[in-house]
Amino acid sequence: MESSRQEEAKSRYEEYMEAGLKMFPPFKGYGLKLIQFAIDEPELYRIHFMGRDDMSTSDYLKEKVEIDKILPCISDSLELNAREARWLLTNMAFYALGMGNLLANSSCFMSDAEICRNLGSVCRGLMMQLKAAKDERVEIIPEEKARELGNLEEYITGKKKLIIGYSADREMFRIRLDAVLYFEAVGEKVFAYTKRHVYEIRQRLYQVEEQVKPFAFVRASKSLLVSIKKISSVMPEPGGRGRLQMINGETVIASRAYYKNITDALKDPAI
């Protein structure tokens, strides 16, 4: 009887895992579906993930998380090497398992919206840790010169079309604007998203908007600026909102107040 329940729990986990890996980015989808497993079927979640305490971390990742099955999808979708993919997935799994354990034991009192928001912040933080693609960067700004830099506006002038961004380890870079998919405000911080990476932009979103508007960036919501040139498709949503698919496969939501402006801009032959 116990063996059949363990097999059932393993099978159900794999169904959630496969569903998450079909999302983009798949490491975020995996984390989301792992947490969903804990919410939907807490007993099976506990049987699969919380039944033993004598396993090493590596054995746990191999046997319970089934990390070797997941890694190829993470690596291929984000063009990561094996080390980067394992690091990314391991950290996501640890976060999602921690959240899942709380939920499965009815010890978490966060709303669904709060869980999704926090998961998004974790994803952004993990992506910032990865080494940025070289073609997004013009140059690294030496630490001794950082104090001499002006504000963002001084770097988005003329033909440069550059923006100052910071990696997770506080390295400062000049990044090409044509590599940026969108800017997002998260709390008091603003982040720039490229195809693979995330950089912190030390400006308010309205300040960024004023300066990048000439380069085909438009407001999509109170917390989001998108590059019109990086939208591959749009789909209307209930309530007048719109789903925007970016060229890397990621989707973001445009609010009702801004969706029409985006569709009008997409029709503009000058952009």
Domain count, the chain: 2
Q: How confident is the model at residue 21 (pLDDT cuts 50, 70, 90)?
A: very high
Q: Reply yes or no on whether the pLDDT at 70 is more than 90.
A: yes
pLDDT digits (tens, 9 = 90+) for 99-117: 999 999 888 777 877 888 8
Higher pLDDT among residues 53 and 102, named by residue? 102
Residue 123 shares a structural domain with residue 225: no
> Are 112 and 206 members of one domain?
no
The whole-number average pLDDT for the span 192-199 is: 85
Domain containing 176 — which CATH number? 2.40.50.1020
Residues 67, 25, single domain; the answer is yes
Token reading at 117: 């928001």
- pLDDT tens profile 114-173: 888 888 888 887 877 665 454 555 444 444 444 444 444 444 444 457 888 888 777 788
Quick check: helix, strand or coil at residue 116? helix
pTM of the entire predicted model? 0.50
* Residues 168 and 98 both lie in one domain: no
Q: Is 13 helix (H, G, I), strand (E, B) or coil?
A: helix
Domain assignment present for 262: yes
Residue 143 lies in a domain: no
For the chain, give the mean pLDDT.
Answer: 83
- Residue 229 belongs to domain spanning: 149-266
